[in-house]
Amino acid sequence: MTRRILLLAGALALGVVAFSGDRFWLQFLGKAMIGCILAMSLDLLVGFTGLVSLAHSAFFGLAAYALAGVTNRLGLVNPLLTFPVCLLAAAAAALIIGWLSLRATGVYFIMVTLAFTQMLFYLFNDSPALGGSDGLYVAERPVDSRAAAYVAIWAALVLAYLLLARILRAPYGRALEGIRVNEQRMRSLGYPTRRYKLVAFVIAGTLAGVAGYLDATLYGFVNPAQLGWRQSGLILVTVLLGGKGTLYGPALGALLLAFIEHYGERVTEHWNALIAALVIAVVLFLPRGLAGLVQGGRRA
């Protein structure tokens, strides 16, 4: 029960910042919350379905580039139009990449997803028409004021959590958990497991698209560096640090990493060593991640 209260308190605290009008915290926490959406949506795959995907940043970047493309080339600005279009782009990519990647399993699956995310990275990085290595500006952002963008991100985070928590308690979520524990047994019980994994892949990819859309809205700048395997690796580390299979754990991990990165630099130029120490400590002493600290980190 205390976990639910903590979550509520956290959501309210983040919500209040919307009215603070402090330009720095609006953008800093906005970016951190986008990190939470990415980490939670990846946890649906890593923590609940046992699928370790390194393609997550590809869908994030694709939605961001879709917004830049739609706004700059077609002049569409209204979010009611651009949001569904960008989500569709991310979902379609997730469907195709998912359908192909799921033919492989285990580490081979991980590497196929890495291959696709790198191919997408080079598609944008190497072609001047798509902005090349310098990236693109979003000519006119769907939401101009920073506070409005913050509220949109906050709402997306809360809705994403509720949606994922809901899905995980529904029959579909139960089936995913069965697949994570023993996929072969689930098949012999009559579940077409690859289709379930593909649906999970598309849901997670679409939510990553939401995060990408919001990031492009918050900053008005998209760059291929957001697409590479390094970004996917970072999201995976966030999920593992926070505690996979708990949904709120990865969100905790995203917030913590954002603060460490921000304040770490004040402490030492070698702030990366701080993160290294934290990561190694968590792996060795907190097998269930940070969520392990919160009331035994029971399943969502």
Q: Which of residues 224-283 bind another protein (CB under 8 A)?
A: 224-226, 229, 231, 233, 236-237, 240-241, 244, 262, 265, 269-273, 275-277, 279-280, 282-283
Give the amino acid at 195.
R
Residue 12 vs 115, nearer CB to another protein: 115
User: Residue 246 CA to chain centroid, in angstroms?
Assistant: 15
- Phi, psi angle pair for 42, to nearest 5°: -70, -30
CA distances for 120 relative to 56, 123, 143, angstroms: 12, 5, 27
Check: CB of residue 277 under 8 Å from CB of residue 228. Answer: no
Q: Closest separation between CB of residue 264 and another protein, Å?
A: 10
Residue 6 vs 278, nearer CB to another protein: 278
User: Residue 76 CA to chain centroid, in angstroms?
Assistant: 25
Among residues 1, 107, 296, 298, the one that binds another protein under rule CB under 8 A: 107
**Cα gap 37→32, rounded to integer Å:** 9
Among residues 58, 175, 198, 235, the one that binds another protein under rule CB under 8 A: 175
Q: Does 284 bind another protein (CB under 8 A)?
A: yes
Q: Closest separation between CB of residue 248 and another protein, Å?
A: 18
Give the amino acid at 40.
M
Q: Does 295 bind another protein (CB under 8 A)?
A: no
Q: Does 152 bind another protein (CB under 8 A)?
A: no
Residue 19 vs 24, nearer CB to another protein: 24
**Cα gap 41→110, rounded to integer Å:** 17
For another protein, the binding residues in 18-77 under the rule CB under 8 A are 22-24, 27-28, 31, 46, 52, 72-73, 75
DSSP state string for 251-264: HHHHHHHHHHHHHH
The tokens describing 238, both together, are: 């966030």
Residue 2 vs 269, nearer CB to another protein: 269
User: Which residues have CB under 8 Å from 271's CB, separation 6+?
Assistant: 260, 261, 264, 265
Q: Which stretch binds another protein (CB under 8 A): 8-16, 37-45, 82-90, 120-128?
A: 120-128
Residue 9 vs 127, nearer CB to another protein: 127
Q: Closest separation between CB of residue 260 and another protein, Å?
A: 12
Give the amino acid at 37.
I
Check: CB of residue 168 under 8 Å from CB of residue 176. Answer: yes
Q: Does 116 bind another protein (CB under 8 A)?
A: yes
Among residues 8, 9, 96, 139, the one that binds another protein under rule CB under 8 A: 139
